[in-house]
A and B are shown apart, each in its own frame.
Chain A
Amino acid sequence: MHQFLIRRLIQSALLLWLLMTFTFFLTRATPGGPEAAFLENPKIGPEEIARIRERFGLNDPAPVAYMKWLGSAITLDFGRSYYYLRPPLDIIQERIWPTVQLGLTAYVFAFLGIPLGVIAAFHRGKLPDVIIRVFTVLWDSMPSWWTALVLIVILSTTIHWFPQGQGRDGPISWFTHIIIPAMILGLGGTVAFTRYVRSQVLEVLGQDYVRVARAKGLPERIVTTRHILRNSLLPVVTLMGGFLPGLISGAALMEGIFNWPGMGRLYLEAAATRDFPLLLAIITMLTLATLVGMLIADIAYGVVDPRIRLAQR
């Protein structure tokens, strides 16, 4: 277990470093340099630009700037945002909580996939399975953002209201504002969970120990809960981690559409203004969050599943 943990930690750190390096040099490779966004402003003259370059450390050659940036990024200091003129982490702190709320609510919807998958597996080939299958295929073929747009159109034409931004007047307003973006965000996960759970349960159903449990006359309820569900639902823990990158990407889309004041929206704004320090900070922090999430999911899987626990020794 320790060895496994250390290996995973090193892998994660390496991945984070690679991504940081990659994105840093990307921003340096922008045609016109990182300061291109300023050049488009006619009010800013040449000496102004020279001052800005000096101030944001853009005069350093790329390798020097990279070492400086990496050195300070390790201490979570990402310089200063071009647009907000503040440390990116401060801005992220203001925006992270709405995204966490959205993500957690989306997970609640994603978990609906577990009972759906179990139902589909137990009624394989019958009506419930077919309905669930149709639903999953349809959902997969529709761009989630388009579904969101259509929902907005429908809501605004029928009840002249649609969720925009975060509800700030009490819990009911909070709930009505979060429910639709979270649902659309989470349904992608619901589909993935449904499929995964279904195939897991089907596999366990065919195992010898299930047949033995039935043959020795155990009540079906016990066979289902102890033998089938316990074995087939454990691997779902890993899928929880696997859903995380997709969730974070999807959150950016939903935040853009529903004006949700979170990290994804912040990132879109930063990309539009080419605010590279902020972009780099967000992408680094998000990757870090993803890696930590996946690591926790993997460790949790090792803890709950004795088969893995033993195999790792």
Chain B
Amino acid sequence: MTQVTGEPTPSRNGTSTPVSDGEPRRPRPLTPEEEAQQFRVSQGFYARAWGKFRHDRLSMIAAAGIGIVVLITLLGPIVCEFVLRTAPDTIMRMPDGRVAVLQPPGERFLLGTDDLGRDVLTRLLYAGRISLSIGFLVAFISIVVGTAAGLAAGYFGGWVDDLVNAVIQFVFNIPGLFVLIILSVVFQPDVPLLALIFAFFFWPGTARQVRGVAQSVRNLDYVVAAQSLGASNFRIITRHILPNVSNIIMVVAGFDVGGAILGESALSYLGFGVRVPLSSWGNMLSGSIDLFEKAPWLVYPPGAMIFVTVLCVVLLADGLRDALDPRV
């Protein structure tokens, strides 16, 4: 078999793309309060991680960014109803009664209107709900399934390991976008089903990472001790192995959210993802490319939202990786 040295890396869209070099940021000199904290025995793993994370400015900005994006998409309907007085499917009209088709951004329509006369800002807010829920849903399913499979493979080894590995290889090697398109044509999925289909391509990345850690922990003394004390496999896995992979899970989840948002947007852009009349950041663009000379304002906002969201998620995951690394 081929051996790839270096850290195992999560993957998106089926290729093994190393997502980051996994190199911890250089430690800062400790502040007095941190030094004091180091001597406090009771400080747990997560409290320490939070202490580190809090001082990582870039990660804090990223976390704030995600918070803002989530907040405005959550509050979107309220804002639309009471402030903008719009709904995603209403066709807007000009004061003289004409349908407001392709109005440039201005006082009346903050981000302009599209070719059917719908308000772009309103649609952007509603689309964010769809895109984000797909992102988080995919990450959630991928984590649950991937962790279970990875733990089982890493802990039990043998044929369980072979089986899980074979499935991982299978999913990695199929041309993801093509299968996604055929699945989308056949099932015409709604949002939860679409998330489920995406998760099918994401969980092997999680499983591979979790498996690696579980394998390295399996033979440590405390696990052997628990085994010889007669603890059940279930107890050993949940009590002694799961805590070791919890930090990896958080990091992988971050990359999954970003990857799923990107993937959904690509599929929706092609017209095989979220279907009209629902809007997602991806499908808001699918018609606009033909209009870009007349209405460039249709191209930039959805793309910018995806960019900001994914950038924040990736930076946050990277920051979490550093903060949760017990070696630093």
Contact = CB atoms under 8 A, between A and B. Distances in A.
B14 A245 contact: yes
Interface residues of B, number: 61
B289 A157 contact: no
B203 interface: no
B18 A195 contact: yes
A308 B23 CA distance: 26
A145 B174 CA distance: 21
- Specify the main secondary structure of chain A where it touches its partner: helix
A238 B2 contact: yes
B275 to A, nearest CB: 13
Contacts, number: 178
Interface in B291-328: 292-293, 296, 299-300, 303, 306-307, 310-311, 314-315, 318
Interface string A300-313: 01100001100110
Closest 4 CB pairs of A and B: A249-B177, A246-B15, A141-B311, A146-B303
Given A23-B182, A252-B177, A287-B174, A137 B311 contact: yes
Nearest to B304: A146
B61 to A, nearest CB: 13
Given A156-B292, A245-B15, A256-B270, 13 more contacts: A23-B182, A30-B186, A137-B311, A143-B282, A144-B266, A156-B293, A192-B15, A235-B5, A245-B13, A245-B173, A253-B269, A268-B270, A290-B175
- Majority DSSP secondary structure for residues of B touching A: helix
A153 B314 CA distance: 27
A199 B6 contact: yes
A242 interface: yes
Interface of A: 4, 11, 15, 18-19, 23, 26-27, 29-31, 125, 137-138, 140-146, 149-150, 152-153, 156-157, 188, 191-192, 195-196, 198-200, 202-203, 235, 238-239, 242-246, 248-250, 252-253, 256-257, 267-268, 271-272, 274, 279, 282-283, 286-287, 290-291, 294, 298, 301-302, 307-308, 311-312
B98 interface: no
B270 A283 contact: no
Given A138-B311, A291-B173, A271 B272 contact: yes
Contact of B285 (A149, A244, A291, A302): A149
B15 A283 contact: no
A180 B98 CA distance: 40
Given A138-B311, A143-B306, A283-B179, A253 B170 contact: no
Nearest to A294: B173
A46 B179 CA distance: 31
B4 A238 contact: yes
Contact of A27 (B1, B186, B314): B186
Contacts of B181: 252, 267-268, 271
A274 B185 contact: yes
A143 B266 contact: yes
Interface in B228-247: none
A141 B310 contact: yes
